Amino acid sequence: MFIDTHAHLFMKDYNEDLEQVISNSLLNGVENIIIPATDLNTSIKAIEISGKYEQVYAAVGVHPQDSSNWSDSDLTQLSKLSSHKKVVAIGEIGLDYYYDYSPKHKQLDAFRAQLELAIEKNLPVVIHNRDANEDMMKIIEEFSTKKLQAQFHCFAGNLAMAKRLIELGHFISFTGNITYKKADDLREIAKHVQLENMLLETDSPFMSPVPFRGKRNEPSNVNIIAKTIAELQHLSIEDVGRTTNYNVQQLFKIGNKPKLSFTYKIGNSLYINVTNRCNADCVFCDRKGEAVIKGYNLKMSKAEEPDAEGYIKEIGDPKNYSEIVFCGYGEPTIRWEVVKHVAKYVKENGGKTRMNTNGHGNIINKRDITPELKNIIDTVSISLNSTDENQYAALMKVEPYLHKEMIEFAKLANNYTNVILSVVGLSDVDIENAKQFVQKNIGVNFRIREYFS
């Protein structure tokens, strides 16, 4: 099931067959549709349509191309409209310097006022941005302390801009243009934006994906965009749907939080939710928050942790998966005996194993556990995070000496299994220095883990 977060169903393109368009979307797995308005009249129309169809929601706002006559009375009317029960956002708002339909100063006034309204109403915003990156980022940075949450629809910036917006807690979405032959730059960005920061949209009736380019777009085509993103990120289309649906729940408050998963499939790998407990408290980890990844709820207490046989029952035949990964939001070596038991079962039944760890397993278990990795854990992925012990300590909220312990664990583990050291791609982490450090000083593989907020 998918959610189309951006479809202008109030437009005349749908006057003759709106009922059929919505019916087709349901048949093609579209669970919900959000209609963003472009002015006061279409805000009213979007609300009217949402009132007729249970699965349809509305956003109200004045588009930058329609802001030439912006006034305080517009804001008053939007404030009233935004209180409707089916309104989930303020939008479509933003800046558009490509067309000369509205003076820049009017666009800026309307944009700022509607951002303030969204904050006042505790609603997210749907942002349009075209040829206005500099002013857009300046304003978004100004609002970064005001708990603003936004969807940057039909994303048109560069990768650095996308990364900064993600760090500020916003979401990125792409339309059918990522299927176009000359859209390599967009596809490269889509490869690097984690699904946890992505939404699906069609921008109907515009931006029809291939093979429907040039024809009227419809919400039912959102599955083509999902399929393209899945291919770019080497994931399943189910991963894309599940994750982006959860993102919609987080941003627009549509839908419900997923139930707890003890094992969870991403791509063709099966992950084992070993524990939420950890001796670290990384600044980029959501362990104490929602603890959801790719749409799976991993939040569990110690009392809820399954025993080894519980995991084995859910795994079934390990050969059905490319690998079994001991992961979750906690540190798996806290339950090392359980990990060993399950890993042994996987190996005895023809499967492959990987363990994601912070490298503190020897400290946690008060002995050198690395010899026990042999023949049961095929790969150990260790969080390096930084080559500087003080930055490491600050990122993970641990004592600096644990940096040396982690390095020592990696060196010892390398005697018994394949080892990968990884860093999170934060702006203030020297990625190239980390890569050189790992390859020259430790002699193991290196990987960058893309950051998502």
**Could you tell me how many residues make up the chain?**
453
Q: Assess whether 302 and 184 both reside in one domain.
A: no
Same domain, 152 and 103: yes
Domain boundary among 252, 271, 306: 252
Cα end-to-end distance, the chain, whole Å: 24
Residue 118 near residue 154, CB atoms below 8 Å: no
Residue 277, in any domain of the structure:
yes
Q: Is 345 found in the same domain as 214?
A: no
Over 60: is that where the pLDDT of 452 sits?
A: no
Q: How confident is the model at residue 426 (pLDDT cuts 50, 70, 90)?
A: low
Name the domain boundary from 252, 279, 310: 252
In a domain, 151, yes or no: yes
pLDDT tens-digit readout, 225-244: 999 999 999 999 999 999 99
Shared-domain flag, residues 189 and 281: no
Q: Of the candidates 230, 252, 274, which is a domain's last residue?
A: 252
pLDDT of residue 285: 87
Q: What is the CATH number of the domain that holds 324?
A: 3.20.20.70
Query: Residue 450's pLDDT is what?
Result: 60
Q: Does residue 324 form part of some domain?
A: yes
- Whether the per-residue pLDDT at 326 is higher than 80: the answer is yes
Could you tell me what percent of the chain has a pLDDT over 90? 87
- Tell me: the pLDDT tens digits for 356-414? 999 999 999 999 999 999 999 999 999 888 888 999 999 999 999 999 999 999 999 99
- 420/281 same-domain check: yes
One domain, residues 424 and 288: yes
Considering the domain architecture, whether residues 296 and 180 belong to the same structural domain is answered as no
- Residues 302, 279, single domain; the answer is yes
- Looking at the 3D structure of the chain, how many domains does it have? 2
Nearest to 251, CA basis, from 311, 200, 306: 200
Ramachandran area for residue 207 (φ above 0: left; ψ -120 to 50: alpha; else beta) = left
The pLDDT of residue 370: 98
Measured CA to CA, the distance from residue 203 to residue 115 in angstroms comes to 21
Does residue 257 fall inside a structural domain?
Answer: no
CATH classification at residue 104: 3.20.20.140
- Segments forming the whole domain that contains residue 125: 2-252
Query: What is the reported pTM?
Result: 0.88
pLDDT score for 428: 62
Residue 258 lies in a domain: no
